[in-house]
Amino acid sequence: MSNRLFNSRVLKRIALLCACVLLLSTAAFAADMLVYSVTTGQEGRWARIEKTVVFALDPLQDQPRVVFSDAGADFLLITSGERLTAATGRRVFALGVDRKNYQNGFPHFPAAVYELSKDGSNHARKIFDIEGENGSSNFRDLFVSPSGSKIGHINNLGGKWYLILHDTATGKLLLKMDLTPIALDCFVREIGWIPDGKRLFFTLETGDVDMTSKASYARAGSYLMPDTGGTPVRVPPDVTARPRRPGYQPVADTPPTLLGQLPDGRFLLSEFQWKQGPAVRPPAKATTFFYTVSPTAMTRKDFLASTNILLGSVHLSASGKLVSYVESHGEQRVGRDLIDNRTVHVLDLATGKDQNLFSFPAKLLNLPVTELIGWLDEK
């Protein structure tokens, strides 16, 4: 066999192997589908929702597909607010209000949590009605277990914040836990299940100085807790501690935020620091970082999320590969409207690559509204 023929066959095999590897890696990456919603209707001082469409988008492609639309449903999805929608595995959940009683704005009560079909058939199933008092509700922070069998939220009832969990199959109440003895005057920044589906994580953060007791400052930090309502255990401060960054100054009274746990056991956290130095204009500028840390080996990996402090709607994919978030570029007045231009990002935790998926304008307390919901796993 000639060297030329041999080399030709080897090169073909290498090319075929590379193509297979690329196909497999692309397929694995494409299993994570970003889910987001777009709510439209009549704009103005008294905004009136007409419909919400839920989309799924492969970060490797430009064309989203429609997952669900409430245009023909007897309820309206309410997506604007404190995490009123959630996605996990192959299931999507959302807060909805009765369409026939709807007038305008973004109401949270009376309302119910629904499971939405994701095949474009626009079917929905009501799971449970949410609790409220005096004709209103402080329902927020909807989150779902990795298997989709349990769903949770936080609600303010009788002047106290409660953690409430339900079974998604039956709507049965699984847990109603008063958070006051744990949080004192702190508020929950992030909450969700870790991959084992048995424990919750959450971060407590302090609010305004004049509304926070001295004892509450000692409670600020991140915790793990059995979802049966057991005693929360603080994640050791040396695990969540901010990495030292030359030229940056951390905010002492704001702890890093625990965003979730990767399947390999690493925690994902975010925090912001102020960039220092005479060359910085203005003198200090807020910069947001993500970082992963192994609670056993204490190894860390840093990611620069944005030079803008205004980040929100952070979601970690179930595979632990990707993080989605929205960057706010600040409000600008256009005519009578305050417009905040925002960009949806996807961060690849393996490579550190940060991809801008799309941008959209947002009007303060007005329509249209675009919200990130989470990730579907479509393996």
Write out pLDDT tens, residues 323-371. 999 988 777 777 767 788 899 999 999 999 999 999 998 887 789 999 9
Range list of β-strands (E), 89-205 = 91-98, 111-116, 124-129, 140-144, 150-157, 160-167, 173-178, 187-193, 199-205
Interval 271-309: pLDDT, tens: 888 777 665 555 566 788 899 999 887 788 988 766 565
Interval 23-52: pLDDT, tens: 333 333 448 999 999 999 998 888 999 999
Dist CA 41 CA 115 (whole Å):
23
Interval 177-210: pLDDT, tens: 999 999 999 999 999 999 999 999 999 998 777 6
Q: What percent of the chain has pLDDT over 70?
A: 87
Interval 143-165: pLDDT, tens: 999 999 999 999 999 999 999 99
Q: What CATH superfamily classification does 31-377 receive?
A: TolB, C-terminal domain (2.120.10.30)
Dist CA 225 CA 223 (whole Å):
7
pLDDT for the residue 4: 40
123 φψ region: left (φ > 0), alpha (ψ -120 to 50), beta (else)? beta
Q: What confidence category does residue 21 fall into, taking pLDDT thresholds of 50, 70 and 90?
A: very low
Mean pLDDT across 1-9: 40
**Which of 56-65, 201-210, 227-236, 287-296 tops mean pLDDT?**
227-236
Does the CA dihedral 29-30-33-38 come out positive or negative?
positive
Dist CA 308 CA 287 (whole Å):
6
Mean pLDDT across 106-115: 95
Q: What percent of the chain has pLDDT over 90?
A: 61
Alpha helices in 280-362 (DSSP H): none
How many other CB atoms are there within 10 angstroms of residue 48's CB atom?
A: 13
